[in-house]
């Protein structure tokens, strides 16, 4: 057989990929997606209707909100990325993963971290740093599991059977490396007890380190690995190569270089030195370029396939995902401009922005990938093809309700906080009154979130029945689910 630098494998050749680990991560993804989103709906209800806090320590908003963020980012987001990485990396490198044992240690280690988080956070054990709340013993466990993952991933790279590394692998690599650096630097702390520690940084330095972490957790946990997934699964689903491979490798380097600088935009108008705030703002605005490079590359990959986008739910999910990626990577830089930030900071606008990225980009690209995968890995047609379309519409309308209501609420509170009357005094001196006026928007947001969750439940049931259903005859081509 002739080898090329890009490693063509003849049809039917059994390279011996490890599919079981992919199925394990796939299953975990679906389970944690439901849990994380359900907690999100619960805390949305608590904000609209306070008695839903139940008056119990373990169920108040302050303890459940970190549970929601950790569950959707690290449990759902983490598992979905690992699903895609373990599946596509083996194929792109034409080799089995470096070690089946390490793969399984990674899987069970990661799931046990999630379970520990689900126990400790409602008990009030937290370090308070957003998206880095978990107490120090769990931080140590995360580090160990991440090293296991890193060794397994780079080990697979070292024994690859192809010369070239496809750009998706670049994005995965930046994910593995950067998350390790961010996690270790931000988690440095001195333990007081088994459940409590204090960070080595104090005050605004601690804030700067945390938002360097927090912003880049968004960048390197929720953006680069998902771009990697996009660069593999969008072409696979569309059955055509990426629009411009050259653009993909160029925007990769611009993205990873620029992203790291943007953290201080979370601290505008604080007492952090002006030069640091300005750097954060300028680099945030520059980020539009590489972000849109990725978006355009994704959308243009579908040129000439728009007729299929109308009928194939997988492509629909992916197109909407890439569009939301473009939208939120435009909105983010705008919100980093000092004057805009002065209005938006501390308001629901930020919550809306985060969710247009999380529900729109991360969620939708994941759904697209999962629908594609369940049919290709288990080799079965979808049990309910039309449900996939219903899921798509529930999710899309849900996101619109969510982001528009939060945008309106954020503008309203931002303006009312600062409004002055003719005498130069506060027009709304009682803070609670402003929050109370947000109530209708909070109910609309709850509705949007509930619709999104309903769609995810339909997906889970669909997957369950698909996997338990009869296998597709070998001769039959991979079906494109029609609505």
Partner 1 sequence: MSNDQSQSEKAYGRLHRRLFEGKAAIFAIATTVAISVGGVVEIIPMFSTSSLSWERAGWVTPYAPLEVAGRDIYIREGCYLCHSQMVRPMRAEMLRYGEWTRAAEYQYDRPFLLGSRRLGPDLQRVGQKYPDAWHYEHMRDPRATSPGSVMPTYPWLHRDKIDPADVTASMAALAKLGTPYTTTEEGAVTARLRSDGQMIVDNLAQAGITAAWDDEIVALIAYLQRLGVEGRQHLATQGGGQ
Partner 2 sequence: MNPLLREAAASVQLGWVLGAMTVVFLAVFLGWVFWAYRPKHRAMMEEIGRMPFMDGGDA
Shortest CB 317 distance to partner 2, Å: 18
Shortest CB 55 distance to partner 2, Å: 50
Q: How many angstroms separate the CA atoms of 180 and 85, rounded?
A: 17
Residue 289 binding partner 2, by CB under 8 A: no
Q: How many angstroms separate the CA atoms of 223 and 228, rounded?
A: 9
Residue 261 binding partner 2, by CB under 8 A: no
Shortest CB 152 distance to partner 1, Å: 14
**Which pair of tokens denotes residue 431?**
């803070």
# chain residues binding partner 2, by CB under 8 A: 40
CB atoms within 10 A of CB 309: 16
Q: How many angstroms separate the CA atoms of 94 and 97, rounded?
A: 10
Contacts of 148 (CB under 8 A, 6+ apart): 102, 105, 106, 109
Residue 249 binding partner 2, by CB under 8 A: yes
Q: Which does 209 bind (CB under 5 to 8 A by kind): partner 2, partner 1, none?
A: partner 1
Q: Which does 429 bind (CB under 5 to 8 A by kind): partner 1, partner 2, none?
A: partner 1
Candidate residues 104, 160, 236, 384; the one interacting with partner 2 per rule CB under 8 A? 236
Strands 197-199 and 189-191: antiparallel
Residue 275 binding partner 2, by CB under 8 A: yes
Shortest CB 230 distance to partner 1, Å: 19
Contact by Cβ (8 Å): 3, 358: no
Instruction: Sort 313 into a burial class: Cβ within 10 Å, 0-12 / 13-18 / 19+.
Output: buried
Query: Hey, which residues does 190 pair with through a beta bridge?
Result: 198
Please identify, using beta-carbon distances, which residue of 149 and 378 lies nearer to partner 2: 378
Interface with partner 1 in residues 63-92 (CB under 8 A): 63, 65-66
| Radius of gyration of the chain, Cα coordinates, nearest whole angstrom | 23
Residue 203 binding partner 1, by CB under 8 A: yes
Please identify, using beta-carbon distances, which residue of 145 and 272 lies nearer to partner 1: 272
# chain residues binding partner 1, by CB under 8 A: 100
- Residue among 74, 89, 85 at smallest CA distance from 33: 74
**Helix 100-120, helix 61-70: angle, nearest 10:** 170
Candidate residues 350, 404, 457, 467; the one interacting with partner 1 per rule CB under 8 A? 350
Q: How many angstroms separate the CA atoms of 242 and 294, rounded?
A: 11
Q: How many angstroms separate the CA atoms of 162 and 7, rounded?
A: 5
Residue 159 binding partner 2, by CB under 8 A: no
Please identify, using beta-carbon distances, which residue of 274 and 307 lies nearer to partner 2: 274
Contact by Cβ (8 Å): 359, 288: no
Interface with partner 1 in residues 244-273 (CB under 8 A): 253, 256-264, 266-267, 269-273
Please identify, using beta-carbon distances, which residue of 97 and 117 lies nearer to partner 2: 97
Per CB under 8 A, residues contacting partner 2 are 4-13, 15, 17, 88, 91-92, 94, 162, 164, 166-168, 232, 235-236, 241-242, 245-246, 248-250, 253-254, 257, 275, 373, 376-377, 379, 478
């Amino acid at each position: 057989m002739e080898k090329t630098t890009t490693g063509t494998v003849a049809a039917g050749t059994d390279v011996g990929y490890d599919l079981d680990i992919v199925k394990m991560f796939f299953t975990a993804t679906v389970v944690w997606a439901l849990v994380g989103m359900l907690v999100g709906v619960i805390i949305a209800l608590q904000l609209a209707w306070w008695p839903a806090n139940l008056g119990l320590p373990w169920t108040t908003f302050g303890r459940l909100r970190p549970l929601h963020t950790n569950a959707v980012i690290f449990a759902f987001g983490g598992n979905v990325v690992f699903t895609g990485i373990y599946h596509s990396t083996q194929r792109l490198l034409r080799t089995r993963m470096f070690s089946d044992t390490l793969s399984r240690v990674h899987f069970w280690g990661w799931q046990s971290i999630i379970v520990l988080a689900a126990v400790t956070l409602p008990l009030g054990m937290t370090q308070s740093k957003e998206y880095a709340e978990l107490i120090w013993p769990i931080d140590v466990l995360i580090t160990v599991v991440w090293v296991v993952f890193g060794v397994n991933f780079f080990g697979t790279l070292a024994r690859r059977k192809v010369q070239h590394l496809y750009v998706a692998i670049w994005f995965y690599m930046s994910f593995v490396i950067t998350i390790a650096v961010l996690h270790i630097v931000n988690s440095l702390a001195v333990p007081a007890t088994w459940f409590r520690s204090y960070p080595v940084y104090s005050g605004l330095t601690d804030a700067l380190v945390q938002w360097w972490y927090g912003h880049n957790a968004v960048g390197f946990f929720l953006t680069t690995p998902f771009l990697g997934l996009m660069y593999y699964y969008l072409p696979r689903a569309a059955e055509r190569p990426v629009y411009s491979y050259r653009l993909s490798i160029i925007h990769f380097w611009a993205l990873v270089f620029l992203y790291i600088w943007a953290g201080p935009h979370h601290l505008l108008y604080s007492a952090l030195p002006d030069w640091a705030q300005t750097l954060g703002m300028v680099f945030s605005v520059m980020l539009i370029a590489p972000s849109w490079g990725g978006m355009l590359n994704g959308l243009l990959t579908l040129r000439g396939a728009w007729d299929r986008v109308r009928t194939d739910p997988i492509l629909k999910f992916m197109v909407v995902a890439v569009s939301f990626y473009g939208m939120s990577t435009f909105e983010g830089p705008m919100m980093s401009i000092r004057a805009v930030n002065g209005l938006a900071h501390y308001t629901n606008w930020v919550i809306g922005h985060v969710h247009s990225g999380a529900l729109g980009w991360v969620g939708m690209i994941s759904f697209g990938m999962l629908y594609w995968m369940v049919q290709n890995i288990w080799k079965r047609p979808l049990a309910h093809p039309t449900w996939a379309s219903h899921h798509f519409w529930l999710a899309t309308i849900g996101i619109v309700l969510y982001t528009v209501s939060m945008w309106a609420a954020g503008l309203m509170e931002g303006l009312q906080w600062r409004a002055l009357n003719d005498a130069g005094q506060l027009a709304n001196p009682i803070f609670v009154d402003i929050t109370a006026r947000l109530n209708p928007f909070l109910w609309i947001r709850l509705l949007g979130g509930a619709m999104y969750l309903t769609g995810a439940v339909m997906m889970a049931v669909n997957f369950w029945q698909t996997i338990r259903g009869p296998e597709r005859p070998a001769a039959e081509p991979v079906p494109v689910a029609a609505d």
